[in-house]
Amino acid sequence: MLRKKKRLVLLVMLAAMLALAACGGSGGGGSDSKGGANSGNGGSSSGGGDQAAEIDASKLPPYEVILMYPGSPQPDEKLVEEAMNKILKEKINATIDIQPIDWGAWNDKMNLMFASGEKADLVFTASWNGHVDNVTKGAFVELDGLLEKYGQGILETIDPFLLEGARVKGKLYAVPTNKEIAASWGVLVRKDLADKYNMDFSNVKTLADLEPFLQIIKENEPDVTPLFQSSTQTLVGYVNGYDNFGDPGVPGSVKFGSTDPTLKYLIEEPEYLENLRLLRSWYLKGYINEDAPTSTLQANETARTGRVFMWPESLKPGKDKEMESTIGFPLTQIEIVPPYITTADTTNSMIGISRTSKDPERAMMVLNLLHTDKELLNLLDWGIEGVHYVKVPGNDNMIKLPDGVDPSKRAYNHGSQWMFGNQFLSYLWENEAPDKWEQFRKFNESAEPSLSLGFTFDPSNVKAELAVLNNIRDEFTAALETGSVDPDEVLPKYIEKAKEAGAYKVLQEKQRQLDEFLAAKK
């Protein structure tokens, strides 16, 4: 009860402060108070507030909405688009063009699109993917006015923590996925192999506790990688226990649970070096894939092959069961860092409207439907009923694969459902808990809010330094965190180079802004 009261107090303070920050801004109007007053619990599956019902589609000219997100193109993508278009044409006289971009090419594609003015409408964005930097560059449309006119369904169903945490200087430039507002951190593991060797994970509390299980796989399963990592998905990066405010590329973090607002430079912290040494020993023992520092693959793409035992993930209730349907193997999850609510967690999956959109109003209408229209969202999430899935008899909200479909060869299986709309409207797979969304609610309530919840760093004063620091980070981090180099030799070079490039200047600027944020919060 105490924790619930603490979250409520934080929310009221955060909403009030951001509402004040938004005063005088263009297009922002009263959207802060509107979002707070009308927003229901994030677990609501209501379709209420669907503005499409009030829109006369016959008076709208045809328009194609381009949806871009990082992921793999699917063989049946066009079939799904056609099914979605039947709904969109009827409700808002629009069609959709789904354009997934491979993860390895995503950042370059986005930078080119924003720079060249190439048309796009709905674009995935996240705090960890340079959202604030892109906002400062003018890449996204400010959404408060559009939400008031065409996004009432979003305002009525999304958890207010998500919308308030996503604001940049009091304004909203992207709508978060309506999902859990907290995250825990750990690993996913193939359950069939864990059962085969009678593995007991109940006492796992630290990264070092994972080693005996990796050793078992290495010694007994020669065709399976004990721990899969890539240049963008490392165990040290996921399970470090620090709040980096959504952007690991900017120096300055606070340890989860700490009441001390003094920022730490993570790469100088003793536990960071300790973890790097551990991963180095695992790499030398052959527990980690050799191509880890250069690989741009996501773990779920590789795990589908059956040649991976364990990989790092952000966790939530039922994450293992959710991923089973994508990967095709039974999974179990091991939590190492308990649930916590940070600004990064409220902004780690969002959809913005690109400045290159030719019709932002129509883009918002589509986004609103993805938060309110259950049929449309599940088409995007899972494909076409009877083709890509079938309903479980007696449960209209639970699905399974059609008979005879090989889980590893599904024609529509992008695995990116966490990026889109209102997850509480998404069907559950038959292996998932029927009360999954209730578990989400309890998970959110159990999480400890960060003292800096709602803080976003404005990089304007240190953009030159950050550009260099990001290049230096790219040079060192993947090699260090995958264990492919000796940290005692390489980490000091990284720290020295970062300091010379202005890391402490950035850290001081970030500390100044955080101190001002906390002072205003009081």
Summarised one tens digit per residue, pLDDT across range 431-464 is 888 888 888 878 877 777 777 877 888 888 999 9
Domain that includes residue 516, residue range:
183-340+459-522
Task: Tell me if 451 is assigned to some domain.
Answer: no
Is residue 169 domain-shared with residue 107, that is, in the same domain? yes
Q: How sure is the predictor about 144, in pLDDT bands with cuts at 50, 70 and 90?
A: very high
Which of 30-34, 230-234, 302-306 bottoms out in mean pLDDT, i.e. has the lowest? 30-34
Say which range, 42-51, 363-372, 421-430, has the weakest mean pLDDT: 42-51
Shared domain for 165 and 288, answered yes or no, is no
Which of 28-42, 48-62, 399-413, 502-516 ranks highest by mean pLDDT? Answer: 502-516
CB-CB contact of 178 with 49 (8 Å): no
**Residue 175 in this model has a pLDDT that exceeds 70:** yes
Q: Specify if 442 maps to a domain.
A: no
Q: How much is the mean pLDDT over the chain?
A: 87
Residue 83 reports pLDDT greater than 80: yes
Which pLDDT does position 378 carry in this prediction?
Answer: 98
What average pLDDT does this structure show over 246-259?
Answer: 87
Q: pLDDT: is 349 or 455 the higher one?
A: 349
Calpha distance 476→478 (Å, rounded) = 6
- Boundary of a domain, candidates 355, 382, 409: 382
Same-domain check for residues 299 and 289: yes
142 and 192 share one domain: no
Residue 446 falls inside a structural domain: no
Say whether pLDDT at 316 is over 90. Answer: no
**DSSP state letter for 320:** H
pLDDT at 272: 96
Does residue 352 sit within a domain? Answer: yes
Averaged pLDDT for residues 258-283: 96
pLDDT in the model for residue 14: 45
Is 80 exceeded by the pLDDT of residue 8?
no
- Give domain status of residue 359, yes or no: yes
Shared domain for 129 and 7, answered yes or no, is yes
Residue 243 has pLDDT above 90, yes or no: no
The answer on 154 and 18 residing in a single domain is yes
- What percentage of residues in the chain have a pLDDT greater than 90? 66
| CA 2 from centre of chain | 28
Whether 4 shows a pLDDT value over 60: the answer reads no
Distances (CA, A) of 262 to 82, 226, 243, 511: 53, 37, 12, 7
Highest average pLDDT, of 29-33, 157-161, 375-379, comes from 375-379
In the chain, the amino acid numbered 375 is: E
Phi-psi region of 340 (alpha: psi -120 to 50; beta: other; left: phi over 0): beta
Confidence at residue 40, expressed as pLDDT on a 0 to 100 scale: 33
Residue 445: what pLDDT? Answer: 77
Residue 317's pLDDT is: 87
The pTM of the full predicted model, rounded to 2 decimals, is 0.70
| SS3 per-residue string spanning 164-208 | HHCCECCECCEEECECCCCEEEEEEEEHHHHHHCCCCCCCCCCHH
Higher local confidence (pLDDT), 123 or 42: 123
In this structure, the answer to whether residues 246 and 113 fall within a common structural domain is no
When mean pLDDT is compared across 38-47, 172-181, 228-237, 333-342, the lowest value belongs to 38-47
Q: How confident is the model over 32-57, as a mean pLDDT? A: 43
> Are 329 and 374 in a shared domain?
no
pLDDT average, residue stretch 78-95 = 98
Q: Are 168 and 86 in the same domain?
A: yes
Please tell me which residue, 416 or 13, carries the higher pLDDT value.
Answer: 416
Stronger pLDDT, 50 or 209, i.e. the higher one: 209
Does residue 45 surpass a pLDDT of 50? no
Residues 362 and 281 in one domain: no
Across the range 484-512, mean pLDDT stands at 97
Domains in the chain, number:
2
Which residue's entry shows tokens 């069961």? 321
Give the pLDDT of residue 29: 29
Q: What pLDDT is recorded for position 62?
A: 97
Nearest to 250 by CA among 353, 170, 340, 136: 136
**102 contact partners, CB below 8 Å, separation of at least 6:** 70, 71, 72, 296
How large is the average pLDDT for residues 377-383?
Answer: 98
- Work out the average pLDDT over 105-123: 94
Whether residue 224 contacts residue 309, with contact meaning beta carbons closer than 8 Å, is answered with yes
Whether 397 is in a domain gets the answer no
Contact by Cβ (8 Å): 144, 383: no
Q: Indicate which CATH number applies to the domain containing 221.
A: 3.40.190.10
Least reliable range by pLDDT among 7-11, 175-179, 391-395, 486-490: 7-11
Q: Which amino acid is at 392?
A: V
DSSP secondary structure letter of residue 407: G
- Give the pLDDT mean for 405-409: 85
Radius of gyration of the chain (CA): 23
- Read off the pLDDT of each residue in 455-483 and give the average, rounded to a whole number: 93
How would DSSP label each residue in 413-474? Answer: ----GGGSSBGGGSPEETTS-TTHHHHHHHHHHHSEEPTTTT----GGGGHHHHHHHHHHHH
144 and 68 assigned to the same domain: yes
In this prediction, residue 36 has a pLDDT band, given cuts at 50, 70 and 90, of very low
Is 412 within a domain?
no
Residue 125 lies inside a defined structural domain of this protein? yes
Is residue 203 located within the same domain as residue 138?
A: no
How would residue 168 be classed by pLDDT, with cut points 50, 70 and 90?
confident
Please give the pLDDT value at position 44: 38
- Residue 45 burial (CB count, 10 A): 13
Q: Of 357, 382, 407, which closes a domain?
A: 382
